[in-house]
Amino acid sequence: MVSQPVKIRDKYRTLKKFLIIFGIITLIGAILSISFLTGFFTKPKNTIVLENPLKDIVMRNTNAQGLVNKEKVVLEAVLEFNENYINYLLVALGVNNLHKSLIGYGNPVVEFQLGEETWSSEINNGNLITDKSPNSEKDLIISTTKEEAVEALLSPEIEQFMKDSVYNGDTQIEMVAGKIELGSKGYLKMYTQLTGEEVEE
């Protein structure tokens, strides 16, 4: 008598395969859903829109022929310098692309050193909170003069003016936070656009 091996077919084999495939698809779907809900793939975009704070000063110093006395505008603007100037500059430089870190580093904070004065701005839930004081949590320091800041505000292309100012050495940008923190808040593109350089480790 010859004995042959007999294959016993598992009647639940198809059901097991289905459950394994279904479980994998469900797990992937859950991971993607959680990632989107926590903002892993999407960066929150602030929408801050401001009016140029020099508008009234320019109008006061424009004659009947429409000619602007730029020297008087700059002198007056430097004397009246306030947080609105900083906010407008930041929006023009791309602060709308900055956001709270999704990995626990907090809100973006930019510090301006304007001669003897120090101003700091925090981007919090789409709002700019600017004070005439230093901030120990700063990520980035922009050093320039009030005159240069006013000239930037008068420029038709503020971002290009600031790029040129950095290139000419009239404005310095110093990254204080590390690359991971800066990246988590959206600074890297803004820094590269202004300086033409990548943030170092």
Answer whether residue 121 shows pLDDT above 70: yes
pLDDT digits (tens, 9 = 90+) for 45-78: 556 667 889 999 999 998 888 898 999 999 999 9
pLDDT digits (tens, 9 = 90+) for 106-119: 999 999 999 999 99
- Interatomic CA distance for residues 92 and 105, integer angstroms: 24
Task: Output the CA–CA distances (angstroms, integers) from residue 136 to 110, 118, 120, 172, 177, in the order listed.
Answer: 10, 12, 10, 19, 11
pLDDT digits (tens, 9 = 90+) for 5-28: 555 555 667 777 778 888 888 888
pLDDT value of residue 27 = 85
What per-residue string of b and e applies to 138-169 under the rule 16 or more CB within 10 Å gives b? Answer: bbbbbbbebbbbbbbbbeeebbebbbebbeee
Query: What is the average pLDDT across 30-40?
Result: 61
| 162 within 8 A of 152, measured Cβ to Cβ | yes
- Model confidence, pTM: 0.73
